[in-house]
Amino acid sequence: MATSTHEDAHAASSLSTPPPEPSSTSTTNVSSNFDIISTYHTILRSSPHLTPPLAAISSLLHLLSHTPPSTTSETLSLLSHHSSLLIASVRNPIGLRAGTELFQRYTVSTLQQAAPPTPNKPDSATQDEDEEEEDGFRAVRERLLSSGRLFVERAAQARALIAETARRYVKPGATVLTAGRSRAVAAALDAAAEAGTAFRVVYVRSSSPPPSPSAPHDGRDRDEETMTMARRLRGKPGVEVALVRPESVAYCLGQVTAVMVGAEGVLENGGVVSAMGTLQLAVLARSARKPFYVLAESHKFVRLYPLGQYDLPVRQTVLEFEGGADHDGEAGAAEGGGGEQEEEEEEEEAAVDYTPPDLVTALVTEVGVLTPSAVSEELIKIWY
């Protein structure tokens, strides 16, 4: 747990340092030259332990730092425009949507609280008064940036708080099944091991191939990261680890005490969006009457209420039927090289599914252990 805390604090501190103030140019010119997408991916590469929502917030902070003071309306429009650009640039925007919406809401609240009431200026208002108003808004923006960086620093420590709570669910002699590459789950298992608890872990390996060189990704091979976490846990006293394929999960559940997974997003109804296969784990856990715990930071809560599995705002192709007349194209595809295979790998790397709230036993967050129905209450606290 100490290692995770140190890494998170380092990632946060690297983002809390603001870039140099821009020269005196117009807001329009500076913002149009600012590449929010490149900034986001640079932050993820330089701070791999940062979650996508926090990387998105940090990108918006960099944006504000690179633009000169303007009006409240222009600031909110600037954030909205670049948030839309960032969300549209990825196949799975749920994490980015959680972060950008949270920061925009936080910005509105900060500006409303900090901005002084605007008096009715007489016709004889001088240029000095206009400059005074501009200085006042500059101070408000500085407060917003300072508070935003502080929020990122504190939010980056959420994983350690989750680990401290979740480790109590790992009892001596327990067997925990997990899948994916959740760093919150890894931190919780590390914390349990460091507390001297003897337990076993069943890691479900990824069935996805590594991403193709041309596919955009965060530089992490999902199965390799699972192997790395397994090797680290095996080196801890009292911890035994088994690696299994996805098709073996149902067979293994008879010896499992609990299932723990992470999430890319926690939706308004308490359901979760996570790596493809999470729904399958939840269904099997319910069938075997095993508790299914989701470990997630509260900044991943997002105002989405899907009507079903196929109602997510995610661009992915999981079902692709072939046959009949399409069969004639198979030979040509084989002769054409690996282009289509690379496309499939890219799609599979981005694939997620939706686990409804009735399959979730509890959500372990830095603000406490929540039932799925409590997520909407937490969102109400943030937004209203």
pLDDT by residue (tens digit) across 327-364? Answer: 555 544 444 444 444 444 344 446 899 999 999 999 99
Q: For 312-333, what is the mean pLDDT? A: 72
Q: Give the integer Cα–Cα distance in Å for 372 and 242.
A: 30
What value does the mean pLDDT of the chain take? 81
Return the pLDDT at 69: 64
Q: Give the integer Cα–Cα distance in Å for 260 and 293.
A: 5
pLDDT above 90 for 193: yes
pLDDT above 60 for 208: no
Task: Name every residue whose Cβ is closer than 8 Å to that of residue 304 and which is 6 or more positions away in sequence.
Answer: 94, 97, 265, 267, 268, 312, 313
352: left (phi over 0), alpha (psi -120 to 50) or beta: beta
Q: Which amino acid is at 49?
A: H
Q: Which amino acid is at 191?
A: A
pLDDT above 60 for 321: yes
Which pLDDT tens digit goes with each residue over 51-72? 999 999 999 999 998 887 678 8
Return the pLDDT at 15: 44
**Residue 155, SS3 per DSSP:** helix
Return the pLDDT at 122: 57
Return the pLDDT at 110: 80
Return the pLDDT at 153: 87
Q: Give the integer Cα–Cα distance in Å for 372 and 17.
A: 36
Percent of the chain predicted with pLDDT > 90: 52
Q: Give the integer Cα–Cα distance in Å for 257 and 310.
A: 31
pLDDT above 50 for 259: yes
> How many CB atoms within 10 Å of residue 111?
18
Q: Which of 215, 246, 257 is nearest to 353 (CA)?
A: 246
**Contact of 98 with 120, CB cutoff 8 Å:** no
Q: Give the integer Cα–Cα distance in Å for 231 and 234.
A: 5
Q: For 160-170, what is the mean pLDDT? A: 96
Q: Which amino acid is at 171?
A: K
Which pLDDT tens digit goes with each residue over 220-229? 456 787 888 8
Task: Name every residue whose Cβ is closer than 8 Å to that of residue 239 and which is 6 or more positions away in sequence.
Answer: 189, 193, 198, 199, 200, 201, 233
Query: Which of 107-116, 294-303, 324-333, 360-369 shows the lowest per-residue confidence on average (mean pLDDT)?
Result: 324-333
pLDDT above 70 for 20: no
**Contact of 171 with 188, CB cutoff 8 Å:** no
Which pLDDT tens digit goes with each residue over 34-43? 999 999 999 9
